[in-house]
């Protein structure tokens, strides 16, 4: 009988059982966030990931929320600055606008718009 040998390859623990199900095909969902300036930022989360209440707007650095009609107010005093805000502070407004334009252009190019 050859059955004894065939069973050996399927013993429990021989392979990563169950891991195939949570691999690359993990379902994702897009959650849009809106800041006080009306910027929409779609953020992708794994379906089982915890979605934060607030998300920093990548365009202006303001906090963005999931309610488009009632975005979180801009804080008067920021506990920390975004990189862009920090850069803008060190440059003139004109330079800052140019930087912003550049960033927006890159963003548009990435989206293929």
Residues in the annotated binding site for Zn(2+): 35, 39, 57, 60
Q: Which is nearer to Zn ion, 49 or 84 (CB)?
A: 84
Establish if 88 lies at the interface with Zn ion (CB under 5 A).
Answer: no
Cα 45–Cα 84–Cα 102 angle in degrees, nearest 5: 90
Q: Show binding-site residues.
A: 35, 39, 57, 60
Establish if 57 lies at the interface with Zn ion (CB under 5 A).
Answer: yes
Long-range contacts of 65-73, Cβ-Cβ distance < 8 Å, separation of 24 or more:
65/33, 65/34, 66/31, 66/32, 66/33, 66/34, 67/34, 68/32, 68/34, 68/40, 71/34, 71/35, 71/36, 71/38, 72/35, 72/36, 73/36
Which one of residues 31, 43, 54, 60 is an interface residue with Zn ion (CB under 5 A)? Answer: 60
Establish if 59 lies at the interface with Zn ion (CB under 5 A).
Answer: yes
Cβ proximity of 28 and 45 under 8 Å: yes
Q: Which is nearer to Zn ion, 37 or 68 (CB)?
A: 37
Q: Please report how close the Cβ of residue 57 comes to Zn ion at its closest, in angstroms.
A: 3
Establish if 72 lies at the interface with Zn ion (CB under 5 A).
Answer: no
Establish if 39 lies at the interface with Zn ion (CB under 5 A).
Answer: yes
């Amino acid at each position: 009988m050859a059955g004894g040998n065939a069973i050996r390859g399927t013993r429990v623990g021989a392979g990563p059982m169950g891991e195939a199900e949570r691999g690359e095909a993990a379902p994702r969902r897009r959650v849009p966030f809106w800041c006080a300036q009306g910027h929409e930022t779609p953020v992708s989360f794994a379906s089982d990931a915890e979605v934060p209440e607030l998300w920093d707007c990548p365009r202006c650095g303001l906090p963005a929320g999931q309610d488009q009609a009632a975005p979180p107010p801009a804080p008067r005093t920021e506990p920390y600055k975004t990189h862009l805000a920090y850069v803008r502070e060190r440059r003139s407004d004109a330079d800052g606008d140019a930087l912003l334009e550049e960033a927006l252009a890159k963003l548009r190019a990435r989206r293929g718009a």
